[in-house]
Amino acid sequence: MSDTLHVTNYPNDNNDRPWWGLPCTVTPCFGARLVQEGNQLHYLADRAGIRGQFSDADAYHLDQAFPLLMKQLELMLTSGELNPRHQHTVTLYARGLTCEADTLGSCGYVYMAVYSTLAPATTS
């Protein structure tokens, strides 16, 4: 694995900071490592970050959708769809955003990546 960081043309890419979330090829992207305690998730601001720059609208939507995404992920832990012992990526959609999350079999963490959902191409 290379010790160098990828280069993009996006301002404020924050490549000089550790990336805590799921690997994400979409920019901008919000990533976080959530602490799992039973079926509850805890967000720690120092284990999260943003690559790229969200539009004001997407940043607002992320702020509004985040509690809903957290609750949905907790319900997935309760139902067993997210399992702390088995790697399995789940995808959620909220307010024009896509959230991918996985425990990566880590027994204590849920890794997430949230990015803007691309609108499907339309033909006229």
**Residue at 84: amino acid letter:** P
Q: Which pLDDT score is estimated for 7?
A: 37
Q: What is the mean pLDDT of residues 8-26?
A: 71
Q: Which pLDDT score is estimated for 14?
A: 56
Residue 11 has pLDDT above 60, yes or no: no
At 70, give phi and psi (nearest 5°). -60, -45
Each residue's pLDDT tens digit, 40-87: 999 999 999 999 999 999 999 999 999 999 999 999 999 999 999 999
Q: Which pLDDT score is estimated for 64?
A: 95
Residue 33 has pLDDT above 80, yes or no: yes
Query: Any idea which residue has 């702020």 for tokens?
Result: 63
For 29-116, which CATH class?
alpha beta
- Of the two residues 74 and 8, the one the predictor is more confident about is 74
C-beta of residue 91 within 8 angstroms of C-beta of residue 102: no
Q: Which pLDDT score is estimated for 15?
A: 62
Q: What is the mean pLDDT of residues 96-115?
A: 95
Ramachandran region, residue 66 (left: φ > 0; alpha: ψ -120 to 50; beta: rest) = alpha
Residue 22: how many CA atoms within 13 Å on its side-chain side? 22
Domain boundaries, the chain: 29-116
Ramachandran region, residue 72 (left: φ > 0; alpha: ψ -120 to 50; beta: rest) = alpha
What is the distance of C-alpha 27 from the center of its chain?
Answer: 12
CA distance 66 to 91: 14
Of 76, 54, 74, nearest to 64 by C-alpha is 54
Q: Which pLDDT score is estimated for 107?
A: 87
Q: What percent of the chain has pLDDT over 70?
A: 82
Sequence-separated (6 or more) residues with CB below 8 Å from residue 95: 61, 62, 64, 65
